[in-house]
Amino acid sequence: MTQEKLNARAALDEIMQFTQSIARAAGTEIVAAQREVLSSNFKNGDELVTNADLQADALIVKAIRHQYPDHDIVSEESAPEPDLQRLQEHPTWVIDPIDGTVNYAHGHLHSAVSIAYVENGQIQCGVVFNPFADEMFSAIRGHGAQLNGEEITVAAESNLRRAIIATGFPYGKAEIPALIQRLGAILSHAADIRRNGSAALDLCWVAMGRLDGYYESLSLWDFAAGQLIAIEAGAQYGHFKPVPAGVPQQFHSQNILVANAALYGQLLALLEPT
């Protein structure tokens, strides 16, 4: 490995350590806040946000601004307008302080801090931390995916009838009829479906084999970290509808599909026509 590549890897290792430390710090706050009375609000009428989302976001953003003051930040709660062109040209952090907010607000223990680092137009580091399970999913591009430091890989399942496929639904209800038809196509061929409520954790669970596949339309902060973790764990990642011209595939948020290579084609054949 050249000295340049050694330096690049060392820099990403440093970023990974920093990212995991702020994810843990935010996770500690999130767990403590859930034991208190949460205040909540609804963005755009339907989209739940709690005081814990805002507090965790503030903690993460403050730490990034201090450590990397010239980097950009895209965050669900404080900077929710990603500029896809600038994202490809400037070091950028992509943050979902609590992915699975509805779960969190209802006292469920299935939500996560999701933080991705983008550099040179590529997601280079991804961290998804579920503080309730003390499960830290992580990946550096080209260096595999880990759960609490142990390598993870996608499930080997190739028989869709034996597979568990996860999905989710948007806050708005306009697309529900089409989404139910899509769900029916999957449920008619898979062993079962799961709607766990956190896209970031769904992607990580595919990465480690707790799920065999996942599909959904999301926002950048829901999937950025989990995408890298799933790909580095050996998953096939793409979209079951055409990606609009000019939109970088890795940052396209609609019609996401992820599974191992044996199931990906089977799921694509079911989802494409829906």
State in angstroms the smallest separation of the CB of 112 from ligand LIP: 9
Q: Which stretch binds ligand LIP (CB under 6 A): 22-30, 96-104, 127-135, 149-157?
A: 96-104
Phi, psi of 82 (to 5 degrees): -65, 135
What would the DSSP string read from start to end of 59-77? HHHHHHHHH-TTSEEEETT
> Can you read off the two tokens belonging to residue 40?
């909540």
Total residues in contact with ligand LIP, by rule CB under 6 A: 15
Cβ proximity to ligand LIP: between 19 and 75 the closer is 75
Q: How far apart are CA 227 and CA 249, in angstroms?
A: 11
Q: How far is CA 232 from CA 68, 186, 206, 259, in A?
A: 25, 25, 11, 12
Q: How far is the CB of 183 from ligand LIP (least distance, A)?
A: 13
Q: How far is it between the farthest Cα atoms of the chain?
A: 55
Which 132-171 residues touch ligand LIP, going by CB under 6 A?
Answer: 168-171
Among 267, 135, 107, 122, smallest CA distance to 204 is for: 135
CA distance linking residue 32 with residue 173, whole number of Å: 32
Question: Binding ligand LIP by CB under 6 A: which of 87, 199, 207, 271?
Answer: 199
User: Nearest-CB residue to ligand LIP?
Assistant: 168
76 binds ligand LIP (CB under 6 A): yes
Stretch that binds ligand LIP, among 30-38, 94-102, 250-258, 265-273 (CB under 6 A): 94-102
Asked if residues 179 and 169 have their Cβ atoms less than 8 Å apart, the reply is yes
- Smallest separation, CB 21 to ligand LIP (Å): 22
Kindly tell me which residue out of 72, 99, 212, 232 binds ligand LIP, with binding defined by CB under 6 A.
99
How far is the C-alpha of 128 from the C-alpha of 114, rounded, in Å?
4
Minimum distance from residue 40 beta carbon to ligand LIP (Å): 12
For residue 43 the two structure tokens come to: 């963005």
Q: How far is the CB of 76 from ligand LIP (least distance, A)?
A: 6
**3-class DSSP assignment, residue 93:** strand
Cα–Cα distance measured from residue 105 to residue 103, given in angstroms and rounded to the nearest whole number: 6
For residues 212 to 241, the per-residue mask of contacts with ligand LIP, x marking binding by CB under 6 A and - elsewhere, is ----x-x---x-------------------
When binding is defined by CB under 6 A, the residue of 57, 72, 77, 96 that contacts ligand LIP is 96
Structure tokens at 178: 């089409």
- Is 57 a binding residue for ligand LIP by CB under 6 A? The answer is no
Q: Looking at beta carbons only, is 12 or 216 nearer to ligand LIP?
A: 216
Going by the DSSP 8-state scheme, the letter that residue 37 receives in this structure is P
Closest distance to ligand LIP from the beta carbon of 143 (Å): 25
Footprint of ligand LIP (CB under 6 A): 76, 96, 99-101, 168-171, 197-199, 216, 218, 222
